[in-house]
Structure 1
């Protein structure tokens, strides 16, 4: 009896099966062919794809006049690159994975992160710098605004050279500006630049810039410490402290830059000595503080070089002086900052608070990244 009941369809099951068959027939998804439905074969798929392609407008031929309203759609590669960067479609750089420190280190970092300098310790600041830090534009743009007589402090129009302090009434075009002050630790980022990226905030040709790759800041902006050529990779530093950037880039401070260079060919001993002693380039004398051969494969040879200035394409031009073409150039160190081995191309690492404080001490700057000591 038990087996017979198991084989007998229950009324609820029969009703459910009937509904499923009716629904499948209505949607055209039945496995039987009595309703006339048949899946598309390869030939039918090809004909359908061909008809869709024919419905699309053909690309404009040379000499054709663009149709009205088609200018935005028919962009060239250059315009497409610009719009891509403008939309923010460029992939953001990934953060390098880093182990957390001990509980004591984390507590110290949190304390430094929350620390603010008292207003009385801020003192005066150059007006264009304060306006730029507030986010109204670049320092150069703010200088033009000030020269145009558009800025007043405490009711008086001021010019370049004016300074401002907390509590002053600053107005631009008659509208009061709530200034932001550098009252906290600055931020420092180490980025492993890839070939094919520009160190520029904007490119008229629409190419990817390193600023497209970085995460945006709300209350300030990233300042690139030095530059790297389009085809040069390696360590690139960013900070929110203009004084730190100036301290590291200005020739008077002589901060070391170390590069790994691969050339096609090999320097002779006399040529290496000449590069260390100094050679004459079109923009003046240039020399390496240190140059050493690091081996190579086939016709390629690697060198490590150190110099204390950042003139345009200087390393490449020094090797080209002896008719050696640089096929690979990578910056591996800038001052106290060495490129971490785990920092892959296109990745970044932001220094924690204790590391930032150490960097500021090395540069001789105050807590907030300015030239004042507190």
Structure 2
């Protein structure tokens, strides 16, 4: 049985005898997230479960600071060096759960991805989620830090959806959503909504938002008296669904990924 081990980089003295937090290296949760093992939060949970060790000693704190992942194992397996951040577009069909497994046995995106991705693709994590019955653009990455940055509401990354809905609505009513709306105590931020076309009481509506709260588009439109029969995400930041076939996946060019990462970093410092 491996011994419990709590480790951090040496502290450096401060004036007056106090110590400053270690500066060399990064927290293990961040390193493992960047290596695509799991998100920071999931890594912290794994540490609590005793699944992560350093040189055979089980770690008991996510505050562990390391210069690299040398000697780190997860479930007894050495952690491979972090690859460059990669990003994939996936056209999620309706009827798939955005999760690795479902307790109820429903099919997940990973069932479809087995056939949609090349065999040598690293472990990928979804950027955000799409509901069971929502289809369209789902981004996936091997980099936990990129995933986290893209999901944070503070990043303000726009997501665009097209909804087919039944009922009566006017463009002026939709324009009021730009001020945000509160539904049953939940505040939804600004939504830029446009009535695309109408046939009788059926219409297509395009909506762009930056928060992406759970079932946000459906709840807002239902609050306005509409019944949503189809919901499709068409864009996430600068990345668009385009003509990617349903159930297919495609890798985004590395140069575009790096350009986007740099833009995110600049905006986070602003």
Q: Give TM-score scaled by structure 1 length.
A: 0.56
- Would you say how many aligned residue pairs link Structure 1 and Structure 2? 240
Greater fraction of residues in helix: 1
1:57-91 alpha-carbon deviations (Å, 9 max, x no partner): xxxxxxxxxxxxxxxxxxxxxxxxxxxxxxxxxxx
CA distance in 2, matches of 1:207, 1:285: 31
Secondary structure at the aligned position of 2:111 is classed as helix
CA distance in 1, matches of 2:145, 2:69: 23
Which blocks of at least 5 consecutive residues in structure 1 are unaligned?
1-122, 366-370
CA contact (8 A) 2:171 2:194 kept: no
| CA-CA distance at 1:204 after TM superposition | 1.6
Which blocks of at least 5 consecutive residues in structure 2 are unaligned?
1-23
Counterpart of 1:210 in structure 2 is: 109
CA distance in 2, matches of 1:277, 1:136: 39
CA distance in 2, matches of 1:363, 1:155: 37
Counterpart of 1:4 in structure 2 is: none
Relative distance call for 1:158 and 1:281 in structure 2 (3 A) is: same
**Does residue 225 of structure 1 match 2:127?**
yes
Secondary structure at the aligned position of 2:137 is classed as strand
CA contact (8 A) 1:288 1:305 kept: no
| CA-CA distance at 1:237 after TM superposition | 0.3
Counterpart of 2:4 in structure 1 is: none
Relative distance call for 1:187 and 1:206 in structure 2 (3 A) is: same
CA contact (8 A) 2:136 2:234 kept: yes
1:239-265 alpha-carbon deviations (Å, 9 max, x no partner): 111111111110111110111111102
Superposed, which structure 2 residues align to 1:212-361 within 5 Å?
A: 212-215=111-114, 220-340=122-242, 342-361=243-262
CA distance in 2, matches of 1:139, 1:243: 8
1:16-37 alpha-carbon deviations (Å, 9 max, x no partner): xxxxxxxxxxxxxxxxxxxxxx
CA contact (8 A) 1:153 1:164 kept: no
CA distance in 1, matches of 2:178, 2:201: 23
Secondary structure at the aligned position of 1:364 is classed as helix
**Does residue 191 of structure 1 match 2:93?**
no
CA distance in 1, matches of 2:98, 2:206: 23
CA distance in 1, matches of 2:74, 2:145: 25
CA distance in 2, matches of 1:172, 1:230: 31
CA distance in 2, matches of 1:207, 1:136: 24
RMSD (CA atoms) = 3.0
Counterpart of 1:180 in structure 2 is: 80
CA contact (8 A) 2:34 2:143 kept: no
1:147-195 alpha-carbon deviations (Å, 9 max, x no partner): 366756468765221122237544679x6x643332x422111011111
Greater fraction of residues in strand: 2
Relative distance call for 1:356 and 1:138 in structure 2 (3 A) is: closer
| CA-CA distance at 1:287 after TM superposition | 4.1
CA distance in 1, matches of 2:163, 2:184: 21
Counterpart of 1:110 in structure 2 is: none
Relative distance call for 1:152 and 1:293 in structure 2 (3 A) is: closer
Higher Rg of the two aligned structures: 1
